[in-house]
Amino acid sequence: MGLIVLRQGKPYVLEASATVKTTPLADWIARGADGRYVLKRLKTAPQTLTPDALEKLRAAAGAFTGKPYDLTFEWSDDRVYCSELVWKIYDRALGIGIGKLQKISEFNLDAPAVKQKIRERYGGKGPPLDETVISPQAMFDSPLLTEVARQ
């Protein structure tokens, strides 16, 4: 998950991977499964994304550039993960929360692959179940967004 930004008229994706950085859109798509992607935007984009709003989004995004990726999904600004990055940019710049915030305890943590990742990332103590998170799926399913392209 990332946020498309234009640089000198060319599309890039602002993403949280190893760090928060911009990646050429074509490179970002090529890293995905079979070159597939879904592009969504705010349903109210024509009214909401004014030049002033876009500047606020740029400023909010700039505050995260260079931050390291957050493997433990903490709701802090020291490190960020992909959906957290996009959620916080829109929230801070425009007061728009895209997707429902949840607690880690609301997710099914019983699958073997999930248990393995929890052991790798949290050790024996496990994740903080009351930690606030925003999942990519919650953002993808947000009624505030509309699909504009799919491949």
- Summarize the confidence of residues 38-48 as an average pLDDT: 96
φ, ψ dihedrals at 14, nearest 5°: -80, 120
| Positive or negative: CA dihedral 87, 90, 94, 100 | negative
Contact predicate 11/22, CB 8 Å: no
pLDDT in tens, 53-102: 999 999 999 999 999 999 999 999 999 999 999 999 999 999 999 999 99
φ, ψ dihedrals at 110, nearest 5°: -90, -15
Q: What is the pTM of this model?
A: 0.92
Residue 98: exposed, middle, or buried by beta-carbon count in 10 A (0-12, 13-18, 19+)? buried
How confident is the model at residue 96, as a pLDDT? 98
pLDDT at residue 126 greater than cutoff 90: no
How confident is the model at residue 105, as a pLDDT? 92
